[in-house]
Amino acid sequence: MPMTKFTILFAAAFALVASSGTTVSAAVPLEGGISPQRIQQIGAMLGDKPFAFGPKIDDRAGWNRLAATKAYSGVVKSAEKLVATPMPEMTEELYMLFKKTGRRTAEYGRARGQRYDRVSRFTQAECVENKGRFIKPLEAALRSICQEKTWIYNFHDGKLDDYNGKKITIDLSSVDLAQNLGACLYLLGDRLSAETRQLVMAKLRERIFDPYHKAVDGTGMKQWWISGDNNWNAVCHAGTVAAALAVCPDRNERAFFVAAAEKYSLDFLRGFGGDGYCAEGMGYWNYGFGNYIQLSETVYQATQGKLDLYKLNGARDAALYPVRIRLINDIYPAYADCALNSKPGPQLMSYINRRYELGLNDFVVSDFTTTSGGLASSLMYSCPNSATARLAAAGKEFYELHSLFEHGGVLNCRPQPGSACRMAVSFKGGFNNEPHNHNDKGTFVVVVGKESLILDPGGEVYTARTFSKDRYLSKLLSSYGHPVPMIAGKLQRPGADAGGVVVAKNFTDQTDSYVMDLRSAYEVPALQTLKRSFVYSRAGEGSLTVTDDFAFNSAQTFGSALITYGQWKRLSPRELLVYHNQEAVKVAIDTGGVPFEITEEVIKEETHTKAQPTRLGINLTGPLLKGRVVLTITPSVMK
């Protein structure tokens, strides 16, 4: 392929830095940078012109097909109402709300949403109607958006460096907007004025394309997410690549972005640890892996199927996370920073079901057409793609008696299909340095029927504290809000060396056992032994035994806990009943004769639900040198 303007400039930048001798420090490309040969290879896969999902506005047959669907039938009326609604200003006062309050305020989010949403909604309406009525309000919105000092979220700009022009960060907000701007320019073409197109393109280059180039080649500010292993990697690459493919006229430049995403998305997949476990939790799997799916489909279609990121190492394992982390009756553990009732998105999971030909009976969507999620995402689902082109695989329910994620130290155990057992359980080890980490090693979840009765309470509503040095002052994020021990009055500590190390495991059709050493999670010098053993039985209606063995070199206190969103009562001195919505478990407490007390505390942190969890402390009275606490948990009935 001949050298283009982009290729020449890119090569010249490297040559200039390399030849500068001692006067200028040599740039260090990120992870070795992007191979020019790979850029050339991918360039040969791409078409001569930009690419985005969906038919361009002049393809009336394509838009007439979409207009006839239920999803697109109301876009014109919706846009008409929006035209009559004044566009809110992104004022300095609004942007400063996070700096002032430390909270992600509704006022800021509402104004941002109502501004950026106009790009998608006016574009969709104009493409459906094709009368020019929405061009003027769309261009007004585009001009106003381009006048904003920055496109990043205000809560990602704590020091206001982006707002004040001291740096340019590419974040989740700016790439989301960028891909919609790119799709808008691609779909409408010269229906937009040359002035508007040039303005938007200039801002895309200033705020997305150039900072990305410089971060990769090592000549500019680092954008940490490019080689990160969490959701930011997938989200920001999906948006950046979609925008670049849609508007960059130079095929080699488009190839650069695709080659970079191909390389650095491996870092995202690395975060799943080789077994598909998403340490960030179900909500972030929806967000992060959902964007990885969009990135994969964008690249697949742009290269006419020649480059398939769906097949990268670890992608299929990550796709299976929701079906392997699910317990019974569509209930999922709320590990990490996710809402209590987080579940995989049905459209996304049905898409994955088809694309990977998983044959799952309970993830089947017949009509993927949608206007939600912005232009790029909605048109990916609404137009023919590599998933909808496949017939749904023959139904075969995916079911494992025990699903082990070695990477996260998580084990899920389920009943035998068709048996009398009504209980499923989940146990979690790992280490206290995960993305969106909670200090929760040794935590567990007990589901009976359709209720989680003993559980991980999920994440809190984000504030400035959540991602600061004071993160674990939150009783939801610290070990206080999890059903784990408290040792010598101390909670678990954070850190890569603080965790629940699995020391034994044994799985059979009838019984699963899982044993963890929890000593490293506690900064207690006197602690010599802290072993937590789980034994799950599928006999009868099911049962779980949780045994804590502990020993000190000097007498110390010991306590354990149960966390529930339900209610509870004491059945006898050594028996509790925990219940919710007609389901219940009995908890028998055996301390070997050592006296203990039960304490109750409602954890008053701001959760994603109206309810707040209750912590039931099970505390041995007085310091001990060693001891054992056994909790036997069985399904029960309301009394």
Measured CA distances, 62 to 65, 69, 355 (Å): 5, 12, 23
Give yes or no on whether 5-313+345-382 and 402-636 have one common fold: no
């937590």: which residue's tokens?
532
Q: What are the start-end ranges of the H helices in 207-281? A: 210-217, 231-247, 251-270
> Residue 74 corresponds to which tokens in the numbers above?
């109301």
Share of the chain above pLDDT 70, in %: 95
pLDDT at 564 (0 to 100) = 98
Rounded to an integer, the average pLDDT of 527-550 is 98
Q: Which of 345, 241, 330 is nearest to 290 (CA)?
A: 345
pLDDT tens per residue across span 257-308: 999 999 999 999 999 999 999 999 999 999 999 999 999 999 999 999 999 9
Exposure string of 155-186, with b = 16+ CB inside 10 Å and e = fewer, is: bebeebebbeeeebbbbbbbbbbbbbbbbbbb
Rounded to an integer, the average pLDDT of 200-216 is 98
Helix or strand holding residue 287 (H, E): helix 282-302
pLDDT at 605 (0 to 100) = 94
Decide if pLDDT at 592 tops 60.
Answer: yes
Q: pTM for this one? A: 0.94
pLDDT at 12 (0 to 100) = 41
Decide if pLDDT at 20 tops 80.
Answer: no
Number of H helices, E strands in the chain: 18, 18
Torsion sign over Cα 388, 390, 392, 397: negative
* 3-state DSSP assignment of residue 107: helix
Alpha-carbon distance 21 to 2, whole Å? 30
Torsion sign over Cα 383, 386, 389, 394: negative
Decide if pLDDT at 1 tops 70.
Answer: no
pLDDT tens per residue across span 86-123: 999 999 999 999 999 999 999 999 999 999 999 999 99
Per domain, the residue ranges of the chain are 5-313+345-382, 402-636
Q: Quick one: pLDDT band at residue 637, thresholds 50, 70, 90?
A: confident
pLDDT at 17 (0 to 100) = 36
> Residue 98 corresponds to which tokens in the numbers above?
């996070």
Decide if pLDDT at 576 tops 80.
Answer: yes
Q: Quick one: pLDDT band at residue 362, thresholds 50, 70, 90?
A: confident
Q: Which of 376, 55, 123 is nearest to 243 (CA)?
A: 376
Q: Quick one: pLDDT band at residue 18, thresholds 50, 70, 90?
A: very low
Alpha-carbon distance 290 to 511, whole Å? 35
CB atoms inside a 10 Å sphere around CB 496: 9
Domain range 5-313+345-382, its CATH number among 1.10.260, 1.50.10, 2.60.420, 1.10.287: 1.50.10
pLDDT tens per residue across span 580-590: 999 999 999 99
Decide if pLDDT at 245 tops 90.
Answer: yes
pLDDT at 103 (0 to 100) = 93
Rounded to an integer, the average pLDDT of 514-520 is 98
* 3-state DSSP assignment of residue 589: strand
Alpha-carbon distance 52 to 528, whole Å? 60
Residue 148: what are its φ and ψ, rounded to 5°?
-60, 145
DSSP conformational letter for 528: E
Q: Quick one: pLDDT band at residue 397, thresholds 50, 70, 90?
A: confident
pLDDT at 393 (0 to 100) = 64
From 371-385, 396-410, 448-462, the region with the lowest mean pLDDT: 396-410
Is 488 in contact with 557 (CB distance < 8 Å)? Answer: yes
Residue 55: what are its φ and ψ, rounded to 5°?
-80, 145
Alpha-carbon distance 479 to 615, whole Å? 11
* 3-state DSSP assignment of residue 261: helix
Decide if pLDDT at 391 tops 50.
Answer: yes
Fold topology of 402-636: Beta-galactosidase; Chain A, domain 5 (2.70.98)
pLDDT at 22 (0 to 100) = 35
